[in-house]
Chains A and B, each alone.
Chain A
Amino acid sequence: GENVEQHPSTLSVQEGDSAVIKCTYSDSASNYFPWYKQELGKRPQLIIDIRSNVGEKKDQRIAVTLNKTAKHFSLHITETQPEDSAVYFCAASSNTGNQFYFGTGTSLTVIP
């Protein structure tokens, strides 16, 4: 099946700085790449996603970039705020498109 690797596992940034989280995947047939945010004790929530026919997608302070040739995609958070502190998970779809595989998560701490 698909193998999704996520780095770094922990990330600390000063408030106002940018944060970047990177994921790689193994299956070249993957075509959907979501990012989820999970606050402590809460459910994962979709924050942004990208499909393979798009190279970049932005939503206010959040952006995702995709490099299909290199099989990696990244989450960029600009002007970080303390409420951005959470665990972020990337995922990639399977070759059948019926399921996807998650990375192991990045714990982001924004220091006020």
Chain B
Amino acid sequence: NAGVTQTPKFQVLKTGQSMTLQCAQDMNHEYMSWYRQDPGMGLRLIHYSVGAGITDQGEVPNGYNVSRSTTEDFPLRLLSAAPSQTSVYFCASSKDGPYEQYFGPGTRLTVT
């Protein structure tokens, strides 16, 4: 199993550009989530999904969209990038609910 994979590993965007961060898992996990990690602030939940077709907002959802058309994939879309979205983004998955989550390797995003 590849576990949780994320692409790209690094990305630089200009203010106003849009992009999609990809996340996939091959463990047949129902629960998937996106976090951002900023220095001194820990990990903050952006959006999560409890199964295909179901998504919900987390702690810091503004400026981000998600969809969950399949069990395996959970892409995160930045609609119009802002410097405040410079961060490291982690995708995670777990079998049932947010318990025992496995994290992907992360995407380091810089918005100039």
* Partner pick for A89 among B42, B45, B97, B99, CB 8 A cutoff: B42
* Cβ of B86 to closest chain A Cβ, rounded Å: 17
Interface residues on B, range: 20 to 34
Task: Verify A43–B59 contact, CB threshold 8 A.
Answer: no
Task: Verify A49–B99 contact, CB threshold 8 A.
Answer: yes
B15-39: which residues lie under 8 A (CB-CB) from chain A? 33, 35
A-B pair number, CB within 8 angstroms: 53
* Cβ of A89 to closest chain B Cβ, rounded Å: 6
Count of residues in A whose CB is under 8 Å from the partner chain? 22
Q: Which residue of A lies closest to B102 (CB)?
A: A46
Could you mark each residue 56-98 of chain B with 1 if its beta carbon is under 8 Å from any beta carbon of chain A, else 0?
Answer: 1011000000000000000000000000000000100000011
Q: Which residues of B pack against A, CB within 8 Å? A: 33, 35, 40-45, 48, 50, 56, 58-59, 90, 97-106
